[in-house]
């Protein structure tokens, strides 16, 4: 599709050098999702100020052009790339990254949407602070708001929503909606920022945020705990929450099927279990504190707590290994990539009430084992908050049906189990995008969809923003 010359000229005047990209080679990275999604853009624009975002949206609206807000493009549901029609404008926030103002006394930070999480945390660390939503990618703050990112330490700090105080959003007609308050207490009715949090940019473009920062821990301690059965993980979690309360920052659980490939795949990390195979489940437990070692011996405390648990529940525990946190997180963070070396992977990002995680996994195994034994269930995830990245690894040659038929059937089976039978979520933390749009369509109630449609009509009546349908 050709770009109208007057439109291109108006954008170039507004955004200056490097502000408008339409060369196919330049566009490719804006058109390709990290895991899912490959689209075609009309062009990509890179505004550097909120006023420029507002003007870009107004110019697009005058021509009826649809716009896809894009952050660092690390999203995992295909929502961060345009559709295949070649008529969407990608609005990248990567140059809107100048403001980063820390208020140490308030323990807050005002930040532009395009600032990367790593940049924010570097700046905060100089003041003994951190933005605690932690993950193994480096997204933009605006993308994190639009996806309401969760991450490995949600158990202690919550998701983005829990740490968001104020927001600046530009609506589809160019109106700037400023709710950039730094107040923690502000009980004055409708809290509009939540409508733009976790809604994939379909109601407005996030241009700035005020976040609350957390004190940067001075110490972390971590351990792997081998578990003979899934339920033992839940007992350990309860004991640690009871005994160590807010010191507990992460509680991840990895099945043997998810772990083994990390030690034999391309990463080939050294197994902490030596030559022995990993136990059925392994918990990664992390504690953190702002107190210095002289005041609190954190590794000692962790060893003591795990030792006590081992004495009481020795039959259920296979092994306990306290080690530097980075080495244990490296194992956890290599799982997804290692599984991809084992065959085709059908990945799910699910949540159920955490007490039901072992039963849910067994139900999936039973349901698939009977009909589709070609799938290996490789589950791991944020058990502390009920999240499981249930990955099915399979060998296409051994499958009873071609992938195009098999995948939707298996997805339907697993999603139905999670949502309908276990009261869970088809998207624990990655949000909604073309990858799981069918789930939204299937599981959201009519009343929920009607509310979404009313909001879309209010904020973006011409339906110009994003590719996701939340109604």
Ligand X SMILES: Cc1cc2nc3c(=O)[nH]c(=O)nc-3n(C[C@H](O)[C@H](O)[C@H](O)COP(=O)(O)OP(=O)(O)OC[C@H]3O[C@@H](n4cnc5c(N)ncnc54)[C@H](O)[C@@H]3O)c2cc1C
Which residues are near ligand X by CB under 6 A? 34, 68-76, 79-80, 93, 113, 135-137, 139-140, 142-144, 146-147, 149-152, 200-201, 205-206, 429-430, 466
The rounded distance, in Å, linking the Cα atoms of 278 and 167 is 45
Directed axis angle between helix 403-416 and helix 357-371, to 10°? 150
Least separation in angstroms between residue 143's CB and ligand X is 2
Nearer to ligand X, 299 or 381 (CB): 381
Q: Which is nearer to ligand X, 347 or 406 (CB)?
A: 347
Report the 10 Å Cβ neighbour count for 250.
Answer: 27
Residue 147 three-state SS:
helix
Name the residue nearer to ligand X (CB basis): 115 or 318: 115
**Nearest to 236, CA basis, from 224, 218, 246, 221:** 224
Write down the least CB distance from residue 243 to ligand X, Å: 26
Q: How far is the CB of 360 from ligand X (least distance, A)?
A: 19
- Give min distance, CB of 187 to ligand X, in A: 26
Residue 108 or 207: the one with the smaller Cβ distance to ligand X is: 207
Give the H or E element holding residue 57.
Answer: helix 50-62
Burial class (CB in 10 A: 0-12, 13-18, 19+), 72: buried
**Which distant-in-sequence residues (6+ apart) come within 8 Å of 461 by Cβ?**
172
Instruction: Kindly state the smallest distance separating residue 149's Cβ from ligand X, in Å.
Output: 4
Minimum distance from residue 206 beta carbon to ligand X (Å): 4
Q: Whose CB is nearest to ligand X?
A: 143
Q: What is the DSSP string of 336-358?
A: HHHHHTTSEEEE-BEE--GGGHH
Partners of 377 in the β-ladder: 392
Measured from the CB atom, the residue of 72 and 368 that comes closer to ligand X is 72
What is the sign, positive or negative, of the torsion defined by CA atoms of 256, 385, 202, 452? Answer: positive
The answer to whether the beta carbons of residues 390 and 376 sit under 8 Å apart is: no
Cβ distance to ligand X smaller for residue 142 or 299: 142
CA 160 to CA 121: how far, in whole Å?
14
Q: Looking at beta carbons only, is 406 or 439 nearer to ligand X?
A: 439
The CA distance from 8 to 43, in Å, is 9
Minimum CB–partner distance for residue 274 and ligand X (Å): 28
> At its nearest, how many Å lie between ligand X and the CB of residue 42?
16
Whose Cβ is closer to ligand X: residue 116's or residue 302's?
116
């Amino acid at each position: 599709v050709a770009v109208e010359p007057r439109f291109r000229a108006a954008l170039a005047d507004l955004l200056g050098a490097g502000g408008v990209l339409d060369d196919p080679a330049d566009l490719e990275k804006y058109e390709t999702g990290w895991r899912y999604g490959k689209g075609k853009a009309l062009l990509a624009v890179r505004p550097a100020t909120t006023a420029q975002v507002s003007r870009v949206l107004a110019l697009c609206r005058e021509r009826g052009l649809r716009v896809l807000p894009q952050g660092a493009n690390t999203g995992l549901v295909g929502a961060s790339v345009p559709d295949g029609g070649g008529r969407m404008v990608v609005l990248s926030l990567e140059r809107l990254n100048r403001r980063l103002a820390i208020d140490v006394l308030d323990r807050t930070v005002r930040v532009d949407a395009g600032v990367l999480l790593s940049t924010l945390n570097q700046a905060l660390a100089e003041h003994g602070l951190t933005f605690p939503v932690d993950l193994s990618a480096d997204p933009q703050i605006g993308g994190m708001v639009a996806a309401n990112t969760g991450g490995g330490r949600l158990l202690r700090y919550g998701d983005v929503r829990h740490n968001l105080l104020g927001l600046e959003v530009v609506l589809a007609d160019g109106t700037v909606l400023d709710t950039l308050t730094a107040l923690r207490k502000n009980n004055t009715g409708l809290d509009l920022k939540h409508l733009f949090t976790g809604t994939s940019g379909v109601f407005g473009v996030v241009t700035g945020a005020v976040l609350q920062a957390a004190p940067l821990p001075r110490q972390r301690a971590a351990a792997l705990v081998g578990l003979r059965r899934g339920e033992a993980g839940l007992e350990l979690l309860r004991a640690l929450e009871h005994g160590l309360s807010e010191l507990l920052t992460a509680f991840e659980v990895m099945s043997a099927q998810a772990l083994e490939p990390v030690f034999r795949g391309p990463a080939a990390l050294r197994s902490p279990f030596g030559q022995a195979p990993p136990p059925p489940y392994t918990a990664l437990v992390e504690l953190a504190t702002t107190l210095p070692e002289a005041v609190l011996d954190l590794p000692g405390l962790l060893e003591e707590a795990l030792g006590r648990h081992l004495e009481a529940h020795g039959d259920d525990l296979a092994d306990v290994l306290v080690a530097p946190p980075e080495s244990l997180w490296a194992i956890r963070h290599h799982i997804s990539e290692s599984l991809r070396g084992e065959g085709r992977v059908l990945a799910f990002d699910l949540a159920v009430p955490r007490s039901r995680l072992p039963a849910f996994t067994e139900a999936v195994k039973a349901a698939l084992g009977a009909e589709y034994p070609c799938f290996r269930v490789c589950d791991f995830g944020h058990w502390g908050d009920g999240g499981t990245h249930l990955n099915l690894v399979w060998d296409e040659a051994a499958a009873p049906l071609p992938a195009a038929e098999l995948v939707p059937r298996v997805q339907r089976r697993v999603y139905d189990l999670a949502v309908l039978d276990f009261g869970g979520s088809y998207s624990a933390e990655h949000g909604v995008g073309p990858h799981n749009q069918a789930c939204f369509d299937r599981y959201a109630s009519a009343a929920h969809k009607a509310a979404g449609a009313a909001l879309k009509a209010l904020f973006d009546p011409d339906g110009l923003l994003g590719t996701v349908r939340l109604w």
